[in-house]
Structure 1
Amino acid sequence: MTDMFWRFSDAASHAVGTYWAFLLACVVVVVWAGTGSFFGYSDTWQLVINTGTTIVTFLMVFLIQNTQNRDARVVALKLDELLRAVEGARTSMVELDDMSDDDLTLVQREFHRLREKYAPLIDDDLAHVEQELRARKKGGH
């Protein structure tokens, strides 16, 4: 069942992301707007488009979220493989997905500290710019 849902959500998300799906949605809106005078711009006429778009939006949220979750998982696994394949890389970084937000903040601070410390040694242009800006703020320039 899970595999069937994935296949459906993948196909649906690809289909609704096409030019043709957008064009179809535009045609539906134009046809709906064009029938307004025939139906006297009634509450029922307005309810048709509101209900239709609400239902489509509601269902698409789940399909798109499923696709995004899968894509994020695939990217994470590919990055994990790269970490494992690069000599000297800290393979403990593979476990970042399982860390709390506080732990992730600590890791981020550690990278920032390392960048500050080693930027002059590795010609990190962005770090040099950041250091220069901080020095200017401290100096009151």
Structure 2
Amino acid sequence: MDRIFTHVATRIATAAGQPQTFLVALLVILGWGLSGPYFGYSDTWQLVVNTATTVVTFLMVFVIQNSQNRDAAAMQAKLDEMLRALEKAREQFIGIEHLTDRQIEDLRAALEREVGKEPGKPGTADDTVERLLERY
């Protein structure tokens, strides 16, 4: 079941992110809007688009969440591998995504203090990083 859902969700997410899909959706909505006078702007005419958009939105929430979960897990695995492979990296950081928000915030603050900056301040970024960001 997981493999089928992953395959279908990936295909739907890929298709939904294409410009052609946006264009099709736009054309459908324009067609619906232009058909209003023909149907006398009836309650049924309105119900059709409301129901369709609600169903599509409801289902897309699950597809998008699935894609984001897989992307985040893959990124985390890659970062964990980098921590494991780099000699000077602290392997204790592997798995910190399972900590609470408060624990992660405390860890961030400790790391900022470790590099000599005040936690939570914009000045934490190195001057080089700030200059690079200014260029773009």
Provide the TM-score with structure 2 as the length reference: 0.84
Show structure 1 runs of 5+ residues with no match: 118-123, 129-141
Cα RMSD of the aligned pairs, angstroms, is 1.9
Matched with 1:16 is 16
Residue 70 of structure 1, CA deviation: 0.4
Structure with the larger helix share:
1
Residue 126 of structure 1, CA deviation: 6.6
Matched with 2:120 is none
Letter matched to residue 88 of structure 2: G
Residue 20 of structure 1, CA deviation: 1.1
Provide the TM-score with structure 1 as the length reference: 0.82
Letter matched to residue 95 of structure 1: G
Relative to structure 1, the CA distance from residue 127 to residue 61 in structure 2 (aligned partners, 3 Å threshold; closer, same or farther) is closer
Letter matched to residue 47 of structure 1: L
Bigger relative contact order, structure 1 or 2 (CA pairs below 8 A, ≥6 apart): 1
* Higher mean C-alpha deviation, range 97-106 or range 9-18: 97-106
Q: 1:125 aligns with which of 120, 124, 127?
A: 127
Question: For the pair shown, which has the larger CA radius of gyration, 1 or 2?
Answer: 1
Matched with 1:99 is 99
Q: Which runs of 4+ in 1 moved over 3 A?
A: none
Counterparts of 1:1-141 in structure 2 under 5 Å?
1-116=1-116, 124-125=126-127
Residue 49 of structure 1, CA deviation: 0.7
Relative to structure 1, the CA distance from residue 109 to residue 127 in structure 2 (aligned partners, 3 Å threshold; closer, same or farther) is farther
Relative to structure 1, the CA distance from residue 114 to residue 127 in structure 2 (aligned partners, 3 Å threshold; closer, same or farther) is farther
